[in-house]
Structure 1
Amino acid sequence: MQFDWSAIWPAIPILLEGAKMTLWISVLGLLGGVIIGLAAGFARAYGGWLSRNIALVFIELIRGTPIVVQVMFIYFALPMALPDLRIDPFTAAVVTIMINSGAYIAEITRGAVLSINRGFREAGLALGLSSRETLRYVIMPLALRRMLPPLGNQWIVSIKDTSLFIVIGVAELTRQGQEIIAGNFRALEIWSAVAVIYLIITLVLSFVLRRLERRMKIL
Structure 2
Amino acid sequence: MRFGPIDVEFILGILPFLFKGALITIELTVQAIVFGTFIGLFVALMKISRFKVLSILGGFYTWVIRGIPLLVQLFILYYGLPHIGIQLSPKAAAVMGLSICGGAYIAEIIRAGIQSIEKGQMEAALSLGMSYAQAMRRVILPQAYRRLLPPMGNEFIALMKDTSLVSVITMVELMRSGILLNTTYFRPMEIYITVGVVYLIMTTFFIYLISLLEKRLAISDGE
Task: Return the TM-score normalized by structure 2.
Answer: 0.92
Structure 2 residue aligned with 1:161: 162
Task: Indicate conservation of the 8 Å contact 1:22/1:173, yes or no.
Answer: yes
2:169 partner letter? I
> Bigger CA drift: 89-98 or 121-130?
121-130
The Cα shift of 1:173 comes to 0.2
The reply to whether residue 87 of structure 1 matches residue 102 of structure 2 is: no
Alignment map for 1:32-181 (pairs within 5 Å): 32-80=35-83, 82-83=84-85, 85-181=86-182
Aligned mates of 2:98, 2:50 — CA distance in 1: 25
Cα gap change, 1:126/1:48 in structure 2, threshold over 3 Å: closer, same or farther?
closer
| Percent identical residues | 37
The reply to whether residue 15 of structure 1 matches residue 11 of structure 2 is: no
Aligned mates of 1:12, 1:51 — CA distance in 2: 49
Equivalenced residues, count: 217
Task: Return the TM-score normalized by structure 1.
Answer: 0.94
The Cα shift of 1:146 comes to 1.7
Task: Indicate conservation of the 8 Å contact 1:7/1:186, yes or no.
Answer: no
Aligned-residue RMSD, C-alpha: 1.6
Structure 1 residue aligned with 2:32: 29
Task: Indicate conservation of the 8 Å contact 1:14/1:176, yes or no.
Answer: yes
Which stretches in structure 2 are left out of the alignment for 5+ residues? none
Aligned mates of 2:179, 2:66 — CA distance in 1: 28
2:150 partner letter? P
Aligned mates of 1:194, 1:108 — CA distance in 2: 30
Q: Please give the per-residue CA displacement for 1:23-67, whole angstroms capped at 9, x wherever unaligned.
A: 111111111111111111011112411111111111011111110
Structure 1 residue aligned with 2:195: 194
Aligned mates of 2:154, 2:109 — CA distance in 1: 11
